[in-house]
Structure 1
Amino acid sequence: MNIISQLQHKAQSRAATDGGYNPITGILLVEAAKLTISAISHLCVSRNSDGQVTAPNTLIMQRDAALPAIFFTMATILQSSGAYYLDLVPYLALSQLKVILAPLFARVILKHRYPVWSWLYVFLMALGIILSQLGTTRSEPSSPPERQLMMLHGVASMLLAGTFVALGSTCVEKAVKKNPGSLLAYNVQLAGYSLLFVLCYYSWLTQMSFAQFFRGFNTLVVVYLDLQVAGGLLVAWCVYMTSTVTKNYAQGLGFSLAVTVPLVQGHHRINIQVAAGVLLVLVAVLGSALSAGRASAAAEPSGREKVSDVEK
């Protein structure tokens, strides 16, 4: 997912935006593709032996999909603004705000209880992300007021976007866990709402003019949109199979790679702050995975004992 974030920043940075690419058109195409793929997949896998489509309660899914669709739509628009105003590393670092907020929202909304070590790993990951950003930020003379205002705009956009992503992901996890087996149908509802919201927003911005819809599209934009579609479906599946918090740990690992790989390829010196930040993120990701594995292994024998007791 951090590869997608890098492409998003490159496609929507100030230099790229001068070429005329409108990120709202990209969001429209992504949501339309998600809707089409999810609808076709749902029709293919939900047929019973008589060839009829079995669907869960559509009204419940429509209600559950409306709010996260608003959150994700707002977050995507705000991320576009952040990519426009911020450099790559601050943009990537601020996009990880959901790593910190997701456990908090899961605790409040989903009533999840996390052990102390889980909160410790979240803190280590947040500290590692901050150190990585500070280590890659060049010391420059004071920026002009215009540049400071643009950076403030970008930071505010990314903070709001991270909050909306964490809220939306938590709502999605609650919905798909409440209706097992309805992931594809829920994706249809979610993409449908998002497509409608973005279409209304685009129509309002352009005064119902679609003449310049594909202006500024190039190979980079097309690759970014394709990865955005695949990444969105993959993230939904990961949330369904695990949780929002687990998915964010994987994205934290991707953040470490996104920060270090360009430095290595460009033969830049990796200072102590970057090294310490990346190390903390890796410790948080690996520690969380190992602790979760031990917890699952410890719970498995007790489950088997209960089964054997029932059989007796």
Structure 2
Amino acid sequence: MASMDDQKRVSSADDGTDKLDTDLELTPLEGTQEEATEMDHKKNEAYTHNRINKYGYIKYVSLVVLTIQNAALGLSMRYARTRDVPHMFSSPAAVLMAEVVKLIICVGLVIQESGNVQKGCRSMYAVVILNFKDTLRVCVPSFLYIIQNNLLYVSASNLDAATYQVTYQMKLLTTAFFAVLVLKRKLKKWQWLALGLLASGVALVQLSSSSGGSKDTEGQSRVLGFSAALAACFISGFAGIYFEKVLKESDISVWMRNVQLSLLSLPFGTITYVIKEGSMNDLLKGFDGFVWYLVVLQAAGGLIVAVVVKYADNILKGFATSVAIVISCVVSMYLFDFHLTVQFACGTALVMGSIFLYGYVPKKPDPRNNLV
């Protein structure tokens, strides 16, 4: 006896179709595809939402950390070099130790980037040792950064923290100068205006300092401090552009490049220390908890900037720098008996405004607005 299914198949034979097959197979299949598409859409939305939240979180956390690091470094360097201690630490020793700490951090980041210790070590051996000719390309910036960091200690020893913080923003001007000279980069009109405002602001700050905006400590020379800061700015500008050129000409990661940079900085830092102190004896003399904190803070600076550049933009980075300047000024008034003058306030405002203006990127016009 024929089943009900068979009877239905026969009854639909005249149409040349199989209604039962369609009902039983195609309809459920269509429903499954719709459900799968909807589920995929929801998954993609959730992934995108989580990714945006994650990157947004990293962006703002890194900016907060950069702001605190910028403000804390200038204030801490000033305090470390002017406090009353039995044995003052050697600034070349602090610079050398900062490179050691940075090397350790970057090695850890390369290993994390590679997936495990074995792969990370193999990668570093291949890039740093076997391809040593390429490693030598970062000799120039590694030497210059050692000199720059030593000059910053000289500047921090002779300028109050607020003046030091504002003056060191001249590195924006020198970086732009070398970007035009070395990388043939073209600056926009508002960027040239920003550089002019920056120079004017720093000049006002220096005039304010020389007319009694801050008090000297014994043995302090504002001329020496300003000269050291200015030299550090020129070195920072050239070294930064040179290192950027090296980074862009290869596919080696920024962490691996920093391993090369720190590794080559060690002999330069050692030579600098020996020239100043005469021998390697008492390398860590005067190093206490605060000095080690300062060393780690200085080592972390460049790495924090790398994260900010990756996840944020120039305007937000400029905002972080500006807030750091304000923090330095406020804290200096309480810790270092710094007196805020009208000249200093105007100069600082010009510097902060120039930072924002230089990093400004106008929005491109929407082509849809031109449609009639």
TM-score, structure 1 as length reference? 0.77
Letter in 2 for 1:282: M
Cα deviation for residue 138 of structure 1 reads 4.4
* Counterparts of 2:345 and 2:222, CA distance in 1: 25
Q: 2:107 aligns with which of 18, 34, 39?
A: 39
Does 2:227 correspond to 1:156?
Answer: yes
Does 2:78 correspond to 1:9?
Answer: yes
Counterpart position of 1:174 = 245
Letter in 2 for 1:24: P
Counterpart position of 2:161 = 88
Letter in 1 for 2:72: I
* Counterparts of 2:183 and 2:195, CA distance in 1: 18
Moved more, 63-72 or 273-282: 273-282
* Counterparts of 2:315 and 2:176, CA distance in 1: 6
Counterpart position of 1:64 = 137
Give 5+ residue unaligned stretches, structure 2. 1-69, 368-372
Moved more, 237-246 or 251-260: 237-246
Secondary structure at the residue paired with 2:192?
A: helix
Secondary structure at the residue paired with 1:95?
A: helix
Secondary structure at the residue paired with 2:108?
A: helix
Letter in 1 for 2:228: S
Secondary structure at the residue paired with 1:21?
A: coil
Change in Cα spacing, 1:109 to 1:240, as seen in structure 2 (3 Å) is: farther
Contact 1:96-1:252 at 8 Å conserved across structures: no
Counterpart position of 2:257 = 186
Cα deviation for residue 73 of structure 1 reads 0.8
Contact 1:256-1:281 at 8 Å conserved across structures: no
Report Cα offsets for 1:86-145 as digits up to 9, x if no partner. 3434433432221211101111111211110111122223322333443455439xx9xx
Secondary structure at the residue paired with 1:298?
A: coil
Does 2:143 correspond to 1:73?
Answer: no
* Counterparts of 1:250 and 1:106, CA distance in 2: 22
* Counterparts of 1:267 and 1:18, CA distance in 2: 23
Change in Cα spacing, 1:258 to 1:268, as seen in structure 2 (3 Å) is: closer
Counterpart position of 1:286 = 356
Counterpart position of 2:92 = 24
Cα deviation for residue 76 of structure 1 reads 1.3
Identity of aligned residues (%): 23
Counterpart position of 2:64 = none
Structure 1 residue runs of 4+, over 6 Å off? 240-246, 264-269
* Counterparts of 2:304 and 2:291, CA distance in 1: 20
Contact 1:35-1:191 at 8 Å conserved across structures: yes
Report Cα offsets for 1:48-103 as digits up to 9, x if no partner. 9x957556854464133110111111111222222333343443343222121110
RMSD: 3.7
* Counterparts of 1:11 and 1:265, CA distance in 2: 12
Report Cα offsets for 1:186-213 as digits up to 9, x if no partner. 0001001111111123234444443x22
Cα deviation for residue 171 of structure 1 reads 1.3
Counterpart position of 1:305 = none
Map 1:286-305 → 2, pairs under 5 A:
286-289=356-359, 291-292=360-361, 294=362, 297-298=363-364
Counterpart position of 1:219 = 289
Does 2:274 correspond to 1:203?
Answer: yes
TM-score, structure 2 as length reference? 0.65
Counterpart position of 1:102 = 175
Give 5+ residue unaligned stretches, structure 1. 303-312
Moved more, 24-33 or 94-103: 94-103
Cα deviation for residue 267 of structure 1 reads 10
Secondary structure at the residue paired with 1:30?
A: helix
Secondary structure at the residue paired with 1:120?
A: helix
Letter in 2 for 1:31: E
Q: Work out which of the two has the higher radius of gyration on C-alpha atoms and give 1 or 2.
A: 2
Change in Cα spacing, 1:264 to 1:156, as seen in structure 2 (3 Å) is: closer
Contact 1:28-1:199 at 8 Å conserved across structures: yes
* Counterparts of 1:268 and 1:78, CA distance in 2: 22
Counterpart position of 2:40 = none
Counterpart position of 2:195 = 122
Contact 1:11-1:221 at 8 Å conserved across structures: yes
Change in Cα spacing, 1:264 to 1:204, as seen in structure 2 (3 Å) is: closer
Report Cα offsets for 1:227-254 as digits up to 9, x if no partner. 1111121234446778999967753553
Contact 2:101-2:296 at 8 Å conserved across structures: no
* Counterparts of 1:249 and 1:64, CA distance in 2: 33
Map 1:233-312 → 2, pairs under 5 A:
233-238=303-308, 250-263=320-333, 270-289=340-359, 291-292=360-361, 294=362, 297-298=363-364
